Amino acid sequence: MKSIILVLLGVSILIVNSACSSTKDATTNSTLQISSSSETTSSNLQITIPKGWTEIKDNFEQLFDIWLVNDSKNAAIVFVPIYISENVDIADEQKKIELIKDIVINKRKNEVNTFEIIDENFEGGMYNMHSSKLNVDDKIQNSVIFGKGKYFFECLAYFDNGYSPSTDELNKLAETQFEILKDLQIK
């Protein structure tokens, strides 16, 4: 059972890692849509897009359900669907999220040169969320795993590899990510 989840998550994480290289390159080859809210149909996730951010429609690779890029095009917040086999028999959603988190973290540790969990916590509420602040190859990433029922996601916030953000910029990115998560809806 864990091996099925591991394979599915491994593929998802590999896709995310390959896509995190540059939002600037992606925005030149994608159709930009500016709106106050966005709804995906593939996984029933709806978010409000904050001012100063734009949704990118990834028509080529289709890696993300929702892909947001800031106006400076040096930071991104993405929502990656996590597919869980229907054979997984874990009724407690918090335990599902913890299992997914463990698999995601272990996979990332094996794919990068340096990796450290800087901070992590679990939050209940409308959707159970596990957030981690990660140092991945000397770049800070905020990863939040959440879900409900059969829909689970990783929301990843990061700066481009070639950009060195200030502490204030890192904090603002995390605040923006959590503002989006606060109001999201899984239908």
Per the structure, the count of domains in the chain is 1
Residue range 164-181: mean pLDDT, rounded: 93
Neighbours of 83 (CB within 10 A): 15
Segment 24-49, tens digit of pLDDT: 444 443 333 444 555 444 557 888 89
Question: Which pLDDT score is estimated for 13?
Answer: 46
Question: Which pLDDT score is estimated for 28?
Answer: 41
Name the nearest CA neighbour of 16 among 67, 57, 70.
Answer: 67
| Entry pTM | 0.75
Question: Which pLDDT score is estimated for 14?
Answer: 41
Residue 10 has pLDDT above 80, yes or no: no
pLDDT range class, residue 145, cuts 50, 70, 90: very high
Report which of residues 128 and 32 the model is more confident about: 128
CB 159 within 8 A of CB 173: yes
Strands 128-136 and 37-39: unpaired
Residue range 82-89: mean pLDDT, rounded: 77
Mean pLDDT for all residues in the chain: 77
| Boundaries of domain holding 116 | 2-186
Specify the CATH number for the domain of residue 170.
3.40.1000.10
